[in-house]
Structure 1
Amino acid sequence: MMPLGPKYTPTEWKIYQFILSNKDKVVTFSLRQLALKLDVSPASVVRTIKKMGYEHYSDLNKQLKHELNIPIVDDDITFQANFYFHQPIINSYTRKFEAFKRLTNNITDFIFYGIGTSNDLASYGARQFVNNGRSAFVVSDPFYPIDRIQNAYHNKAVIVLSVSGETTPTIEQVMNFRTHGAKVISITNNSDNTIANLSDLNFSYFLESKIVGRKLNLTSQIPVVYILERLSRSLQD
């Protein structure tokens, strides 16, 4: 049985009771899906599982699988990958890839943008597009003076990578790209963030965030690689 931990608020008690009474269902939910099911915030779920003695939602999931005699994947990366590729959202991407093709029908150049790890993946994405016969390049400088050339980005699409969707320099650059005529496609961990809301089209992947210290984001980027490759190949269909 899972540890009780400190005293629960009424919302946390509701979450705790649901988890104990519906273990077989909870192991199929992401953190966000569980929050939606219970009409609570993801933060409330996180607080609850921490009071139950678990550092991450994946730790709770492993314990539930153990209690249900479901095979457990030991390493977190494999767990995250398995979870991602079994989400219903994978099937919903088909419609979005079609929307991407329509949105970029008259696009001549693809610009990739991201900061940190997202910049490395942006470079990978640009290379995939070139490999598939499209003109593409990456902007590596987060302070690249986009606004210095008026209307330079018509017939261009910007593919923006950001795990949180709330990185200030990226938000500012997205606004500059939009102001100067570019279509914006974003890839973020969730769909409720500033960059997603500024985009013409957003792809989100809904994995549990992994933050080390105050700023280091170790959320798995396997979904980003998958989406980038699907995007590049969708233009060949």
Structure 2
Amino acid sequence: MDSRITTILFIKEDLIMEQNSHFTKTEWKIYQYILSHLQQITSYSLRQLALKINVSPASVVRTIQKMGFKHYSDLCRQLKKENQLDDVIDDVTYQAKYYFNQPIIESYDKQIQIFKELTSNCKDFLFFGIGTSSDLAAYGARQFANNGQNSFVIKDPFYPIQKTHGSYKDKALIVLSVSGETPQVIEPVLNFQSKGAKVISITNSSDNTISKLSDLNFCYLLESKIVSKTLNVTTQVPVVYILERLSRALNSL
């Protein structure tokens, strides 16, 4: 295992990464922010970081201690050390290796079981996203079809849905969004949910609007990569992985 990937995981192996176990809601929020801003953290003081997340410095300290660091300066020192390691590995490979070595991968087993129970009575699987997520939604729909499920992709955020209450109670909407805050995605989610659809989301973190609206959320906790101020180029390797795991969990062939 790449040493940079190993040491940057921070969290002890026996610490279960579930919001309601070792981390409080606030600590989980802080943890996710740190993992999503690894390169920026070293430029912040403890107080500045707390202000960025809108929490108290004491909450940040408690969180990093649960991550295995005694002081905030220890966290920054470790990050600076890792940032100085050789950068021969390309960014996509680095992010993918980092992702697959996160303890969060193990938590998917329990979530997939919940997914199977949640969708046990669903006859149709609808996939939705915009931009790159739209293309991945199409990929997800094809994977589900390959594994024997009735699946469709919705590419139009203004797609009309039946107005009858409960008309989508036998359907599951799998929505993809890196940020989980895109208005053109949030509104359709609300519409489908109001008509009875089960909502499963795949987002970068679980601290966003779409994940909180969902019946079940899968997050992958990678540092967001934004270019030209608005273009999100965060690797989508985790999304493909999650979609394939979900499709095969329901394999009826």
Within 5 Å, which residues of 2 pair with 1:151-230?
Answer: 151-230=166-245
Aligned to 2:127: 112
Amino acid at match of 1:202: N
- Look up the match of 1:16: none
1:29 aligned onto 2:10:
yes
- Counterpart amino acid of residue 130 in structure 1: A
Structure 1 contact 147–176 (Cα < 8 Å) conserved: no
Counterpart for residue 56 of structure 1: none
Identify unmatched segments of 5+ residues in structure 2: 12-16, 18-25, 46-76
Q: Distance in 1 between matches of 2:215 and 2:161?
A: 19
Instruction: In structure 1, list runs of 5 or more residues that go unmatched.
Output: 1-22, 53-59
Identity of aligned residues (%): 53
Give the deviation of 1:65 after TM superposition: 4.1
2:146 alignment partner AA: N
Higher relative contact order (CA 8 A, sep 6+): 2
1:27 CA drift (Å) = 2.7
CA separation of 1:234/1:36 partners in 2, compared to 1, >3 Å: closer, same or farther?
A: same
Residue 147 of structure 2 corresponds to 132
Bigger CA radius of gyration: 1
Question: Which TM-score applies when normalising by structure 2?
Answer: 0.70
Question: Normalization by structure 1: what TM-score?
Answer: 0.75
Partner residue in 2 for 1:86: 101
Residue pair 1:65, 1:72 contacting (<8 A) in 2 also: no
Q: What per-residue deviation string (whole Å, max 9, x for no partner) do you get for residues 45-103 of structure 1?
A: 66543479xxxxxxx98962486xx7765200000000000000000100000000000
RMSD: 3.2
Write the letter of the residue equivalent to 1:178.
Q
1:7-86 to 2 correspondences below 5 Å:
27-29=8-10, 42=34, 47-50=40-43, 64-65=81-82, 74-86=89-101
Q: Retained in 1: the 8 A contact 2:165–2:194?
A: no
Cα distance in 1 for partners of 2:204, 2:117 equals 23
Separation of aligned partners in 1, 2:89 and 2:40:
24
Q: Assess if the C-alpha contact under 8 Å between 2:37 and 2:224 holds in 1.
A: no
Paired with 1:62 and 1:98, the residues of 2 have a C-alpha distance of 35
